[in-house]
Structure 1
Amino acid sequence: MLFAHDTEVALAYAAALVNTQADGPRSVEELPDVAALDALVDEWGWTGERRHDELELAQVRALRPRLREVWSTDVHGVVRIVNGLLAEAQALPQLVKHDEWDYHLHATTPDAPLATRMAVEAAMALADVVRADEVARLQVCAADDCEDVLVDLSKNRSRRYCDAGCGNRVNVAAYRARQSARD
């Protein structure tokens, strides 16, 4: 494991949240309504207070472009974004233990708005990435027609494609191109 478990989960969640935004030539808005947000929150096991309303959805949607910028900037830009998110939330890191999770860091109260909790969790994980000098692990999918982001947590830093099937699609296209060239 490269980072602590909660850091890896927060990084994966941040990438998944960014990838819900309609962006690029093949993308569709994946958070069209409160029900979709509820499903995403349930899928990733977010705890704490929820409003289940349009304002909460709008706040989470507004977080996505700020997080996306992390994948297109240098370490100094990541630090600027992380420090901004933490300062806005007046984050106060504390060790907590709940559900099936052993002790890990939370930096907001459970009654903080969902978007604030999401922003701070991502910022705390990204702080670990910066401290470990691993910002290069934050990448954009290598497929020409995809703008999704990913976190390369592989030991040999070899991950190039997102989870949307791009790696398989690119490999199949390359195989077919080689077969056509032979014929």
Structure 2
Amino acid sequence: MDVNGYRSDGVGASVAMVNFWTVDHAGADAPAPTVEQVRELLAPFSFLVQDARAAHVPLLAAWAAELRGVFEAADLEEAVDRGNALLAQITVNPRLVDHGYGLHVHYAPSGVPFVDRARINSAMGIANLLAEYGIDRSGVCAADACERVYADTSRNGRRRYCSEACANRANVAAHRARKRAATGSQGD
């Protein structure tokens, strides 16, 4: 039972970081993200974002590029290799804590810099995702021309798009293509 959300926060943060740095702020003409944008990006995932510093931004961008490799993996073996490469770069010192949210496990040692906490939680989230679901519930969006990634930890595990908007566009395009094909075959 996942009572503290670290697993889902790590997965969600991984998806957010990959999409933020490798899609939204990728390319030479993209403006460099600010520390305020990084704080806003990671706040929903239970990070103590007030500890983020401007010096962490390029380090997190490089980490996001490494995380992306797990989502792009062609098979489970490649994803595991990439996940293990992420795990090899972190130091985990799990400990039980209770600071008002009930007893739970923290992966990061006390007092580590923000960037290390982000790396530890995202690597552990990805490792748990792979261990629990393999690669069947994560990847690059199935919509044409979309490069964003997704991870599906829902009960049914059917997600293949980064967002409802991409899923809707793909469904509408498929519907129109079927309609054109049906209309074209009737004229023969």
Counterparts of 1:87 and 1:136, CA distance in 2: 24
Counterpart of 2:42, as a letter, is V
CA drift of 1:34 comes to: 1.6
Counterparts of 1:176 and 1:48, CA distance in 2: 45
* Structure with max Cα Rg: 2
Mean CA deviation greater in 156-165 or 27-36: 27-36
Q: Which runs of no fewer than 5 residues in structure 2 stay unpaired?
A: none
Counterparts of 2:49 and 2:97, CA distance in 1: 13
Q: Which residue of 2 aligns with 1:113?
A: 113
Identity %: 31
Q: Which residue of 2 aligns with 1:143?
A: 143
CA drift of 1:115 comes to: 2.2
Q: Within 5 Å, give how 1:31-70 maps onto structure 2.
A: 32-47=33-48, 50-53=51-54, 55-70=55-70
Counterpart of 1:35, as a letter, is E
Counterparts of 2:93 and 2:174, CA distance in 1: 49
Counterpart of 1:127, as a letter, is A
Q: Which residue of 2 aligns with 1:83?
A: 84
Counterpart of 1:39, as a letter, is E
Counterpart of 1:10, as a letter, is G
Is contact 1:14-1:67 (8 Å) kept?
yes
Q: CA RMSD in A?
A: 3.1
Counterpart of 2:89, as a letter, is E
CA drift of 1:38 comes to: 1.9
Counterparts of 1:29 and 1:19, CA distance in 2: 13
Counterpart of 1:72, as a letter, is E
Is contact 1:63-1:115 (8 Å) kept?
no
Counterpart of 1:145, as a letter, is A
Q: Which runs of no fewer than 5 residues in structure 1 stay unpaired?
A: none
Q: Which residue of 2 aligns with 1:128?
A: 128
TM-score (norm 2): 0.76
Number of residue pairs matched by the alignment: 179
SS of the residue corresponding to residue 105 of structure 2 reads: strand
